[in-house]
């Protein structure tokens, strides 16, 4: 499989607000309080705790695991590009955020990107991962960053954004197929607490042009 990394540019992003404050609060923006996709309390590792109407997933330093969303998207179901936005928060520097997509069969006891059925951006390692292998090196992400994901159901392309700037694309000759959930997590080398605030319904701080909210 191939992944094409793009550090700057690619796609139109409309900026709708300031940066986050790193504590799990989305910088004064709206969230999913009116209903929609949340983190799934029945589909997570026991080291992950949920709060804020299941929109905030938190992990202590030194723990490993992932959580999936309550809803998924299937390639070929329609031709839309779907977006989510995740604010990274935590207890200090040196965090190990992992953010991406996972299928239902990916074990929750490992971090995203550890197995063949999940893809992730490793924020501390500054690379994308699949099947416990580095796919491509890109920039890192950390506390206060808004990580955007878009998933094109027509082509199977997955894109990662940081604060509105495209970082990497998976999906050219080798695109994703099947059904995928948004996933976040970390691994035991992470020295500090980390949390992820999910926004799947918008409005987004950084809206990708042509995309619609995951829902």
76/40 Cα distance (integer angstroms): 24
Q: What mean pLDDT do residues 51-62 have? A: 96
Q: 118 and 191 in contact (C-beta within 8 Å)?
A: no
pLDDT at 184: 98
What is residue 210's predicted lDDT score, i.e. its pLDDT?
97
The length of the chain is 215
Q: What average pLDDT does the segment 40-50 reach?
A: 97
Q: What is the pTM for the complete model shown?
A: 0.84
Instruction: Name the more confident of 175 and 84.
Output: 84
Which pLDDT value is given to residue 113? 95
Average per-residue pLDDT for the chain: 85
- The candidate with the shortest Cα–Cα distance to 163, out of 27, 1, 3, 4, is 27
pLDDT level of residue 21 (50, 70, 90 thresholds): very low
Whether 125 has a pLDDT exceeding 90, the answer reads no
Q: How confident is the model at residue 192 (pLDDT cuts 50, 70, 90)?
A: confident
Average pLDDT over residues 88-114: 91
Mean pLDDT along residues 32-50? 88
What is the rounded distance in angstroms from the CA atom of residue 173 to the CA atom of residue 131?
A: 19
Is the pLDDT at 20 greater than 90? The verdict is no
Query: pLDDT tens, 129-159?
Result: 999 998 888 889 989 999 999 999 999 999 9
Q: Are 185 and 59 in contact (CB under 8 A)?
A: yes
pLDDT at 34: 52
């Amino acid at each position: 499989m191939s992944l094409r990394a793009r550090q700057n540019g690619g796609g139109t992003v409309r900026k709708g607000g300031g940066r986050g404050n790193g504590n799990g609060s989305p910088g004064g923006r709206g969230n999913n309080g009116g209903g929609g996709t949340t983190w799934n309390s029945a589909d997570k590792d026991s080291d992950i705790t949920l709060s804020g109407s299941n929109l905030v997933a938190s992990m202590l330093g030194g723990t490993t695991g992932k959580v999936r969303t309550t809803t998924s998207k299937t390639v070929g179901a329609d031709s839309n590009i779907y977006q989510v936005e995740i604010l990274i928060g935590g207890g200090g520097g040196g965090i190990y955020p992992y953010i991406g997509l996972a299928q239902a069969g990916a074990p929750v006891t490992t971090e995203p990107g550890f197995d063949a059925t999940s893809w992730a951006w490793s924020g501390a390692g500054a690379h994308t991962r699949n099947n416990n292998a580095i796919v491509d090196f890109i920039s890192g992400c950390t506390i206060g960053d808004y990580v955007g994901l878009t998933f094109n159901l027509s082509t199977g392309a997955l894109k990662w954004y940081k604060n509105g700037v495209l970082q990497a694309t998976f999906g050219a000759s080798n695109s994703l197929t099947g059904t995928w959930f948004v996933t976040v997590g970390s691994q035991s080398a992470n020295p500090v607490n980390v949390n992820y605030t999910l926004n799947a319904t918008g409005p987004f701080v950084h809206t990708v042009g042509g995309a619609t909210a995951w829902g």
